[in-house]
Structure formats: C-alpha cells, structure tokens
Amino acid sequence: MNHTKWLTAIRACLFYSVRDEPERPIIHQFALLHLKFPCTITAFMAKQYQLQRNIVKSDVELRIDYRGELNDQQYAAVTSPKGPALVIAGAGAGKTRTLTYRVAYLLEQGIPADRILLLTFTNKAAREMMERVGDLLGNEAYVVWGGTFHSIGARMLRRHADCIGFKQDFTIMDREDATDLMSACVGEAKIDIKATRFPKAKVLADIFSLVANKQCKMETLLERQFPYFAHLTEQMEMVMKLYQKRKRSNNMMDFDDLLVLWLDMLRQNESVLEQYQRQFQFVLVDEYQDTNRIQSDLVDLMGARHQNVMVVGDDSQSIYSWRGAHFANIFEFPKRYKDATVHKIETNYRSTPQILSFANAVIGSNDQQFEKQLEPARPTGAEPMVVVTNDAHEQAMFVAQKALELRDEGIELNEMAILYRSHFHAMELQMELTSRNIPFSITSGIRFFEQAHVKDVAAYIKLLVNPGDELSFKRIIKIMPGIGIKSAEKLWQYFQSGLLNAQGNQVPANSDSQENDPNWTPRLSLIPGLTACTTNVPKKSKDAFEQFHATIEQMEDPGIRKSVPLMIRHVLDAGYEDYLKEEYANYRNRLEDLEQLAAYAQQFETPESFLTQLALETDMTPNNQQDTTTDEERIKLSTIHQAKGLEFKVVFVIMLCEGLFPSERSTENQDTEEEERRLFYVAATRAMDELYLCYPLMRFAQRGAGDFMQTPSRFISELPDNVFEELRVQ
C-alpha cells in the first residue's frame, strides 16, 4: 500500500469517527482500521526503533535452583544461550522436564510470556507443561503462546482469515462433517462408484490428509501407499479440487487446513509473517521427531528473524512416517541451522542398566541416528529375557502365567503391559487371558474379535451354521449399497419365508457326511431363502446381492463348509477384500487380520466349535465390564505405537518373529527397516524393571498350507548374547 492509499484509508476512518461515533477517541478508530486492514496497514514503512527484548541476563536473581533441580545435561539445555538448539533427549531422560524448565528460565530472564511460542502435539502436553511452569513461577506462564500446531494455526487464522479469502467466523469441520462434504463432492463429480469401486468418503479423507501432510502429489501417494487406487488418480484429483472449492465457498476448513492454510497465509502475506516473526523471540517445539514437512516449514518461518529455535525430541523414537511424520526434519536440523547447538540428554531415570544396555544395542544397528548412549540412574536389575515357545498358544500361556506370578510377588496388573506390532498378534493372548479370567484393557478399546471386519466375516459362517441368525443376515446385506435398516428388515422377512416354504422339501446340505460323522447335525441350504429375496432387492444392490448369493452357494459345498479357513478365504475372494479397500485406509492391516484369523481357525474341527470360541471371547461379562471401569486392576494390551510415552514396571513384547516384527513390507528398504527397529526400541524402553521378549517357533500358514517354522526377529538375532538371557518354555 503506497502512502496516498494509506492516508486515504485513515481519512475514511476519521470521517467514520466524526460522523457516527464522535465520542470514540481517534486512537480507537486507528485500531479499528488495523482490524479492517490487517494485511495492509502494517505495510506502511516508517522509521523503526528496535527494542532489546531478547537479552538473556546472567545477573538476575532466580527463584528456581536450576543447578540443584537438573542434571548437568538438562541444565546445559535449559540455560542454552540465544540461537538455534537441538535437544536430543533419550527415552526416560526427562524431555518434558527440560522443556518446562526452559520456559521457566526464559521467563525468569525477563522474556515476556507472549514472546514465547511453545508448539506441542497434544493439548494435554501443552497444558501439563504450562501447569508445571505455573507451579514453578506463578500465573505468568499462562500467557505463553502454547498449544498444538493445529490450535496455534487456528488462532492465527482467526485473526487474519481475510488474508487468504476466508471470513473470521469460518467453521472448523470435524471428521464426520468432512466425510459428508466429500461424499457430496463425489456425487457432484458424477463418478460411478459402483463401476469404478471408488473409495468411500472416509478413505478419501485419509488419502487427502496424507497428500496434505506429506506435501506430495496424489499420483505419488497412491503409487506408494494405495497402488490398488492408482488407476483412479484423475477422478480422485477431481474430487479433491471440488472439495477444496466447496470448503472455501462455504467458509469451512478441515483439520489439515489449519496447517496448510496457516503456512500459505504466512508465505503470501509478508506483513503478517513479519508481525509474528517480530513477536516470537523464542520458539520451542516438543516431539520434533514427529513433525511433518508443513510443521517443519512453519517452525522455520516463525523462528527466522531471531533464530532462537529450540526443538526437543528423540530421533530413536521417530515411528510415525505412515501418518506423514518426516524423519529428516530432526536429522537435518543442524544442516538447516548452521550455528545450532546440539545438546544430548542421556541419563535415563526410567529403566534398569540391563534394560538400557539392551535398548542401546538394539538402536545401535541403525545407521541414520544421532549417536548417544543412554546411561542409567537406577541400580542394577534383572536381565531382559528372550522367551522361546513352541507356538502362539504356548506364548499366550506363558505371558498369562508369568503375569499372575508377578502379581503374587507384589506387582499389580496395572503396572504390566503386553505390547505387539499389529493387533492380530494378540489374538491367542486375548483368548488365554479371557479363559483365565485375568482382567485386561486394550488401548484401542476394541478387542480383536470385536473389530468390524472380523465380525463381518464371522457373520457369513454364523448364517451358514444357523439360517435363523437374523443379526448375521442383516449385518451382511447392510454392507451392500442401497440397503438400510428398513430394506434389511424386508429382505429378512422374504429370506425366512423362502426357507419356510422349502423346509419340507430340503435335503440337508451336508447329508453325505452323515454316516462318517458321529457329531453330524443337519444343515439346511440358504439358497431358497436367498432366491426369495432376489426380486425384492433394491436396484443399487442387485449386483452385490447376486455375488452374495453365489458366494453362499459355493460355501455350501461340503468340502468348503466343513473348513473355516476355506470359508474365510471364499468370503475374501468373493468381494469382501474389495470392500475393505473401499471402506478402510488401513485395508492391508485388516486383510492381514483376516488371513491370520483363517490360520487360527485351522485348529477347530467344525465351524460350530470355532464360533463357540469366538462367543466365549466376546461375551465374557466380567471382561466386557472391566473395559469401562477405571478403578479395576487390569493388565494393558497395546500396539507399540499407542504405548509411546508410557512406562510400566513389566513389559512383554510378543510375536517377535521375522516377517511379523519387522513386517515383511518394512524390510523392502533401509528407511522402513530402520523405522521398525526404532519401533522395537520404543517397546523395550517402556520397561522399567523387567522385559520379556517372546517368539513362537511354529505358526499356522495363512492359506491353509499347514504350519511352518519361524525364525526370531532380526532385531533379536543381530544382538550380542550378553544383553539378554534366553528362556525356553517347556
């Protein structure tokens, strides 16, 4: 804005003041002008005078005894002078404590609270840090700009929404709203979902989010992570453009926009960028190893003027690349900030020396890392134990029995955790804990056998065993397009009517095995019932229902009907696998669950015995109730990803077999293999006192090929023998 235009704007503001609100002071009208033209008013160039606000004083009287409350490494980081700094804080080394005291130290040096920007990944983390600083110094900490990247982004966007073509009252959509809008965009694009097997809106939401957070092209992402959708690149790009257009026209943003548009706003509006670069003299970032490209760029922009950027994290705990985290951010920080000071905090207060020796040996095999050696602050303890069992069932028996023994020794179940790479790894374990009435909770909140995809496939088997199973019938057909509650109820009536009419004329579908099977029970064919439904199926559902009809007919073959693994495989091949692709972004994980379910089912002679076991697992009242209570003592089951940041006296890590952990896909290149090893490192460092690492020697094949020998994970076999003891279960 040139001087003439700027003066014209002021005259307009003054005219407004005299005409409409003569009682309002002129200076207030100038403030109103700034609000009306936030992106332009600051562009007026005047002589500038720089206040020296960011001088760290050495002679102030400090209220906190930093020397007494911090170790030498923490103290060096907390009192670090001006300039960029990277703090590598190992597991259990007091990362949060260091960052908290850094905020307190800056405040004690006279840095105004509103000149400090603290960026975290959870509101809980930001709140806890501010509360701790408040306990140390008083309420001045609460005016620090602290929060998650997304909350800070929303705050700035509210102030300057007009700079990017939005109104300040824009709506932030939740996941459900975003999914609904995406569905509308798919309709607007006139994409024949049925013909193209186009992904559902919630899968599109995950894909669009990854495109945004990874800052990559749609084509690239689909080729790498969703190859089965690669042929739909053009259509998906069209939907994404419509989605972006609709959001803007409706003055709405989704969660990812809070980062993307924040970054766009800063890059496109020099005056806004300069305002915040001047304001924030110190930028602090927690869990920096988990930042994506956008977040890293935002940190660099915010700290560009003063260069007082301190990032805290642990490269050895970078385990979220699958959701957009960019490992190179922390690894390359010293390259981007040439004058950066690197602080290493290596004193671990969590684990015994033996567990730390094990963890150090684990991560030592990675090439891409900051060299560090965790040192224990605790006295000696038990050696980590590598436990070899014959099979997964025996592994589950060992964990359950050992947990009870430890409980008898005085360690509560709440202080134990069982960790695994993938959810299906805990399948046998959940069964065993249930049978022994050992209370447990699952971090995800959903037991393996209660997951939607497991229940979907089980519904086919239930219906074949019991044609009167209304719930299973309705569950299957409601998966089909165009069938809701009312349609499902009508079709159920037709189905029952068809079965009833044919009842007197039916020969049991398994009559040929009557003589050879002492436990033989008649199983009537479902085909008459399905045939009765055919003419009443909604038009949108006809193809899917015909496929269902054909699948049931095939599954009624005696050679298939008596084998649960074959039945599961038939359901997958008949279209359910395609349904998983459309319905879930983590399709591969869910497919793996079902393949392992088929392998697990080989131990059951009949579908009835398999279903009975499932019912015992899912219908145990005591365990169902315990998931909703917080005061009952119970052992925790969790994926390693979800256990990050937690600690337990005793940790069991199960299914440490090659091909399972690390997974087969993760060994395709060095980067993914090293991330898997970092995941194993995270698992090991959750343990405070005792660590048990379990692997079974035998495993059922996924496709009914019998069982085969397993080898221990390379993460174990590559370790020296002196960092663990081996235990063979008899």
Q: What is the distance between the alpha carbons of residues 460 and 553, in angstroms, rounded to a whole number? A: 12
Catalytic-labelled residue, pool 295, 317, 347, 613: 317
Whether residue 96 lies in the annotated active site: yes
Show the DSSP H helices in 306-391 as ranges. Answer: 328-331, 333-336, 353-363
The three-class DSSP label of residue 441 is strand
Provide the token pair at 305: 């003027």
- Type of residue numbered 524: L
Catalytic-labelled residue, pool 108, 286, 676, 689: 286
Buried b (16+ CB within 10 A) or exposed e, 468-507: eeeebbbbbbebbeebeeebbeebbebbbebbeebeeeee
Please answer whether residues 75 and 292 qualify as being in contact, where contact means their C-beta atoms are separated by less than 8 angstroms. no
- Type of residue numbered 288: Y
Catalytic-labelled residue, pool 256, 287, 617, 658: 287
Q: Which of 328, 290, 319 is nearest to 681 (CA)?
A: 319
Catalytic-labelled residue, pool 73, 74, 95, 247: 95
What would the DSSP string read from start to end of 381-440?
-PPPEEEEESSHHHHHHHHHHHHHHHHHTT--GGGEEEEESSGGGGHHHHHHHHHTT--E
Catalytic-labelled residue, pool 40, 42, 79, 96: 96
The three-class DSSP label of residue 719 is coil
Catalytic-labelled residue, pool 686, 689, 690, 710: 686
Q: What is the distance between the alpha carbons of residues 77 and 310, in angstroms, rounded to a whole number? A: 9
Whether residue 619 lies in the annotated active site: no
Counting Cα atoms < 13 Å in the Cβ hemisphere of 283 gives 28
Buried b (16+ CB within 10 A) or exposed e, 318-354: bbbbeebbbbebbbebeeebeebbebbbbbbebbbbb
Whether residue 632 lies in the annotated active site: no
Whether residue 730 lies in the annotated active site: no
Whether residue 95 lies in the annotated active site: yes
DSSP β-bridge partners for residue 385: 692, 725
Whether residue 474 lies in the annotated active site: no
Place of tokens 């567990």: 355
Which residue numbers are catalytic?
Answer: 95-96, 286-287, 317, 686
